[in-house]
Structure 1
Amino acid sequence: MDTSRNAWSMIRNLFGITRKQSGGGDPLTGLPVRSAFLQRLSQARRAGESALIVVDIAGYHQITLTYGEYTGDRVLQFVGESLVAMCRGNDYAARVGDDQFALLLSGVLSEEHVLLATHRVASLFEAPLTFDGLRILVRVNMGVCLSTTVKGAGIDQFEGAMKAMYLAKRSSESAVFYQPGETREEGDESPLLSRFKQAIENSELELVFQAKQDVQRSAVCGAEALIRWRNAELGEINPRRIVSLAKRTGDLDRLT
């Protein structure tokens, strides 16, 4: 039996809500994309307190390599539908990356309330998902940022949640709350990590071949493949930095 249908019925009965879509944008899940989500986040910050949860599917690329893109798409659809099902009246769900989703909870007053929401998300993956007879173990890492912990615009709250999510990935924790002045290793690079994920999705990385020279024979004996990333704001990123970023975001296998 299809796990996604079972989980959907469970969520609907548990929370007493009906299935709904949060507006178009992403053709696979029907969810809004990052740009629309950031606009909604800015509106929410002006309206009052909120909490943002960024959900990353751990090892998603490996799932597609092992089970195929169709099954990977089914996983994405399941996550999207599950987050939409958790939305209350003014809450908002979106797909903000290749394997990342965001859930905006409006009118949230305490960390305990948000922590309960992260537990509900994590509980969706306690048992393997089943698609067409395949049992797939899925894990997620979540970053949480409360509107009261950051100043500035919606993008600042989003970057805070992304930073916390990457900390969760590195520490293998289910969820991490963003704290200003976080001093864990390399935690201040979250904006660059977020841009790197976008660069992969937008095919901004380039493969360049550099000739290898045989000095004794004065002839070309081969070529070395190098990865390049030229960002309009940051300039050209060092290849070693790119590899480091790929390791931290779990995308290294996508570059090899």
Structure 2
Amino acid sequence: MLKQIEKTNPITPPFHSPHWEKILNENNICLWSVDARTLKTLQISSACQSILGYSKQEFIENSCLWEEILYLNDKERVLQQLRSIENGHSAKLEYRIRTQHGGYKWVSDYISSVHDENTHLVRYDRVIMDIDHQKKTEDELTYLAFHDSLTGLPNRRKLEMELQKALTEATNNHHFVGILFIDIDRFKDINDSLGHKMGDKFIQTMAKRLKENLRPDDIISRQGGDEFVILLKNLTNSLALEEMAARISQVMAEPIKIVDHEYRLGVSIGTSIFPDHGLEADVLMMRADHAMYLAKENKTGIQQYQTGMSKSLSRKMLLEQYLHRAIEHDELYLEYQPIIDVCSNEIIGLEALLRWMHPVLGNISPGEFIQIAEESDLILKLSNWVLFTVCRQRRYWMDQGLAYFYISINVPAQQIHQDTFIETIKRALKQYKLPAEFLKIEITERTAMTNVVKALTTMRELQEFGVDIILDDFGIGYSSISYLVQYPFNTIKIDKSFIQDLHHNSSQKSVCRSLVAMGKNLGMNVVAEGVEEFEQYYYLCSIGCDKMQGYYFSKPISQDLVESLTNHIYTVKL
């Protein structure tokens, strides 16, 4: 019915039977035949009323009706596409029509040309469907992808696109482009004292103020948390950037009245300008960010980027600043290192290891950023992200039918001593419907010995719930047999420092043999960490250590490689 019909004589519309009319109406499809010369309606199904808003008779009597109801902004494009059909082609159009209530709706229109036996164009056959709900859903999803849900402002992804376009235009027109990187001072105090709901109201108020004080062409974006970026396009000189920064600083310092109380919060603003401070979008953003951080540190309010400024910021200061945004910006990811049962040559578990890929600084060493996180409250945020990510990923692998294995996560002292820790674990498992035996908790001896009563209570509750506890880095801390008996450890992991020199240090061999024997005698699983060489593997096997982890078997791998590895029996390299 939709393909082009040739040599048709006599010309008969293909949808005149009551049977077809019933099917088309039930499926909200309008078939329409139009005379190619006069554009008069030859026949149209009654679904035109529900789709196009006008009756069959109205279309038959008014050959111009369809063109009259075309949405003005779509009209030129649609009519231009129609001209190509005259050459024997078909076309599928999507356009808007004006409704009788003054609004508009989306329709799809498949048009095919029909010719007679002399190849003369005689009519157009059309299939029209209502796609208004589909298009509006697509528009809504697109909006959500590029806008912040709390403020309705463009998000970071949208800003990146707009900044790239602005730089291209500025290059062609020899204009400047300015960036204001804005951070609300002491916003954490608002969240901590008044709660996150009140904090959200502050953010919305600040966003509204910023938006009201921009030029029509300027773009404001919420980067996440309490950070905003303003993009100033088509600047004729750098003074306009300084004037806007001063204006924003003044406006944002005005009191905010919420629930009969007034609050005053200032902002720290860092600025950069194209082309003086960089030619690429990410460089300009980074330099405005650096300037903002210095403005906050030095309490100057406004700071323009200056050449060499980045060098004056210590790496630790920068990483702490960037780490606050790493989760929101999807810069964190996990790698997984297999734990092998050397008797069966199978992967029995994976240790989840946190990684950070910064868009400018590249891969940041875990040893560097985790220490920074532990010195602030960021470690809790990172640890919870790891917990929920691991549960989601293990559930996915479970649904894919991957072999049975657990995933262990490293839990810092700050997290395990939180009153809400047990509930957080339960919530993560419940959210992803993950059985508790698929998750194991790794803690160090130092963590276990900090606030002993609290740690013991927490570990016993976890074990009762079905989550096993692994003692990590065993042998380098405070361990004694009495402590091991008290704590409900299921597994101990011998620290890699005892494994490294095994093949040429007899003392290390003796210590390692004792550690393995101690764990086995207490009925615990024993895992040797840091196994990198055949000689280490061979000796560990000889003393009865049958579970190992290290580069000899596999380095930490991506989730894609996990899926390929765990579908097969693991073969030990001999």
TM-score by length of 2: 0.33
**Is 1:155 the counterpart of 2:303 in the alignment?**
no
How much has 1:125 moved relative to structure 2? 3.4
Aligned to 2:168: 46
SS in 2 for 1:110: coil
Which of 28, 35, 38 lines up with 2:157 in the alignment?
35
**Is 1:71 the counterpart of 2:198 in the alignment?**
yes
Equivalents in 2 of 1:104, 1:191: separation in Å?
Answer: 23
SS in 1 for 2:239: helix
Instruction: Please say which of residues 50-59 and 181-190 is displaced more in the overlay.
Output: 181-190
Equivalents in 2 of 1:187, 1:143: separation in Å?
Answer: 17
Aligned to 1:100: 227
Aligned to 2:272: 145
Distance 1:40 1:189, change over 3 A: farther
Equivalents in 1 of 2:380, 2:304: separation in Å?
Answer: 28
How much has 1:80 moved relative to structure 2? 1.1
Distance 1:167 1:112, change over 3 A: same
Distance 1:198 1:84, change over 3 A: same
Aligned to 1:222: none
Alignment length (residue pairs): 209
How much has 1:128 moved relative to structure 2? 2.3
- Decide whether the 8 Å contact of 2:256 with 2:264 is kept in 1: yes
Q: Give structure 2 stretches of 5+ with no counterpart.
A: 1-142, 171-175, 335-352, 358-362, 383-413, 415-574
The residue identity in structure 2 corresponding to 1:230 is R
How much has 1:25 moved relative to structure 2? 1.2
Q: Which has the bigger relative contact order, CA under 8 A and spacing at least 6?
A: 1
SS in 2 for 1:151: coil
Aligned to 1:3: none
Distance 1:235 1:72, change over 3 A: same
**Is 1:86 the counterpart of 2:213 in the alignment?**
yes
Equivalents in 1 of 2:280, 2:180: separation in Å?
Answer: 16
CA deviations on 1:61-104 (whole Å, 9 max, x unpaired) are 21111122222111111121122222223211100121100111
Aligned to 2:364: 234
Equivalents in 1 of 2:333, 2:261: separation in Å?
Answer: 34
The residue identity in structure 2 corresponding to 1:234 is I
CA deviations on 1:32-78 (whole Å, 9 max, x unpaired) are 11111111111111111210001101121211111222221111111
- Decide whether the 8 Å contact of 1:32 with 1:95 is kept in 2: yes
The residue identity in structure 2 corresponding to 1:242 is A
How much has 1:193 moved relative to structure 2? 5.1
- Decide whether the 8 Å contact of 2:182 with 2:292 is kept in 1: yes
Matches within 5 A, 1:1-256: 25-48=147-170, 49-182=176-309, 185-186=312-313, 192=319, 195-201=322-328, 204=332, 230-232=355-357, 233-238=363-368, 239-242=370-373
CA deviations on 1:200-222 (whole Å, 9 max, x unpaired) are 4368599xxxxxxxxxxxxxxxx
SS in 2 for 1:35: helix
Distance 1:75 1:44, change over 3 A: same
Distance 1:135 1:237, change over 3 A: farther
TM-score by length of 1: 0.71
- Decide whether the 8 Å contact of 1:97 with 1:201 is kept in 2: yes
How much has 1:137 moved relative to structure 2? 1.8
Equivalents in 2 of 1:63, 1:205: separation in Å?
Answer: 30
- Decide whether the 8 Å contact of 1:229 with 1:237 is kept in 2: no
Q: Give structure 1 stretches of 5+ with no counterpart.
A: 1-22, 207-227
- Decide whether the 8 Å contact of 1:149 with 1:180 is kept in 2: no
% same residue: 22
Distance 1:253 1:53, change over 3 A: farther
Aligned to 2:455: none
Instruction: Please say which of residues 128-137 and 29-38 is displaced more in the overlay.
Output: 128-137
How much has 1:194 moved relative to structure 2? 5.6
SS in 1 for 2:211: helix
- Decide whether the 8 Å contact of 1:26 with 1:33 is kept in 2: yes
Structure with the greater alpha carbon radius of gyration: 2
Equivalents in 1 of 2:311, 2:241: separation in Å?
Answer: 22
Equivalents in 2 of 1:105, 1:31: separation in Å?
Answer: 15
How much has 1:132 moved relative to structure 2? 1.3
Distance 1:134 1:38, change over 3 A: same
- Decide whether the 8 Å contact of 2:287 with 2:310 is kept in 1: no
Distance 1:72 1:50, change over 3 A: same
- Decide whether the 8 Å contact of 1:141 with 1:165 is kept in 2: yes
How much has 1:229 moved relative to structure 2? 5.2
Instruction: Please say which of residues 29-38 and 64-73 is displaced more in the overlay.
Output: 64-73
Equivalents in 1 of 2:270, 2:322: separation in Å?
Answer: 16
How much has 1:190 moved relative to structure 2? 7.8
Equivalents in 2 of 1:126, 1:98: separation in Å?
Answer: 18
RMSD: 3.0
Distance 1:202 1:144, change over 3 A: closer
Instruction: Please say which of residues 61-70 and 169-178 is displaced more in the overlay.
Output: 61-70
Equivalents in 2 of 1:201, 1:234: separation in Å?
Answer: 17
SS in 2 for 1:101: strand
